[in-house]
Amino acid sequence: MIGNNGAGKSTLLNTIAGTLAADAGTLALAGHDVTKKPIAYRSKWLSRVFQDPKMGTAGELSVAQNLTLAQRHTGSMSLHRYRKASQVAAYQELLRPLNMGLEDRLTTQVKYLSGGQRQALSLLMATLSHPDLLLLDEHTAALDPQTSQKVMDLTQTIVEENQLTTMMITHKMSDALTYGNRLVMVQDGQIKLDVRGEEKQNLRQEDLLTLFAE
């Protein structure tokens, strides 16, 4: 999803995630009406990666603890011990494909990680529960170009491997054109362009720029 600043992209995303309440209409996730449900309830079906790498992880907690929070095998109110020796190997297996050396830093507090590492971890955490909908809120905007590309590639791999329905907001038109199979352009709170499949593949950056200028 692309659009000018103030077009309403983030508003839409926040309404879906539950951060903002809907003024009118209904919102259904996987067939469940969640219009008036809190964020935590919606998390059964959706996950989100924030723009700010600090938002998606708990900095004071370790990498392993963050992964435990994301796994959700047990409810958040459960009185079972969360740390088990058998999990260490499983977590290392999960972290290794990220190629960021995180598998050796399970007990490190997340606040000591770099922005790229934190965002990669956020992405992994958001996809661990195989959500029906993954929301990406300009999740590479705060990273340097190289790291940004790395996280984008990682996103592509994870999304394709797990066949996740994903909605990504971006300001980078090249990313909007390269990734995904549908492109929505928002302006003044309205959908101005909605293309998919072959039509999207034929779309070029110049076409978008002319649309933006209108």
Partner 1 sequence: MLITSIGQGLLWAPLAIGVFITFRILDIPDLTTEGSFPLGAAVTVSAMLSGQSAVTASLLGFLAGCIAGWVTGVLDTKLHMPSLLAGILTMTGLYSVNMHIMGKSNVPLLSQKVLTNYLPQSWSIDLQTIMVGAIVTGVVVAFLIWLFKTRLGLSLMATGNNPAMSAANGIYTDRMVIIGYMVSNGCIALSGALISQSNGYADIGMGIGTIVIGLASVLVGEIFLRGRQIWLRLSAMVLGAIIYRFLLTVAMGLGFPVDDLKILSAGILVVVICLPILQNKYRTRQQLNRYLKQIGADEHEASNRSLNRQASPEGLLSRDSK
Counting residues that bind partner 1 (by CB under 8 A) gives 36
Q: Is 145 in the site for partner 1 (CB under 8 A)?
A: no
What is the smallest separation between the CB atom of 6 and partner 1, expressed in angstroms?
Answer: 22
- H or E segment at 46? strand 46-49
- The label of the residue with tokens 């900095």 reads 59
What would the 3-class secondary structure string for 146-206 be?
Answer: HHHHHHHHHHHHHHHHHCCCEEEECCCHHHHHHCCCEEEEEECCEEEEEEEHHHHHCCCHH
Among 109, 172, 200, 208, which residue interacts with partner 1 (rule: CB under 8 A)? 109
What is the smallest separation between the CB atom of 39 and partner 1, expressed in angstroms?
Answer: 4
Question: Quick check: 22 and 15 in contact, CB under 8 A?
Answer: yes
Indicate the residue among 65 and 148 with the shorter CB distance to partner 1: 65
Q: Is 40 in the site for partner 1 (CB under 8 A)?
A: yes
Q: Is 21 in the site for partner 1 (CB under 8 A)?
A: no
Indicate the residue among 39 and 209 with the shorter CB distance to partner 1: 39
Interacting residues with partner 1 between 73 and 92 (CB under 8 A): 74-83
Assign residue 107 a region: left if phi > 0, alpha if psi is -120 to 50, beta otherwise?
alpha
Assign residue 165 a region: left if phi > 0, alpha if psi is -120 to 50, beta otherwise?
beta
Q: Is 195 in the site for partner 1 (CB under 8 A)?
A: no
Where do contacts with partner 1 occur on this chain (CB under 8 A)?
Answer: 17-18, 38-40, 43-44, 47-48, 50, 54-61, 65, 68-70, 72, 74-83, 109, 111, 125
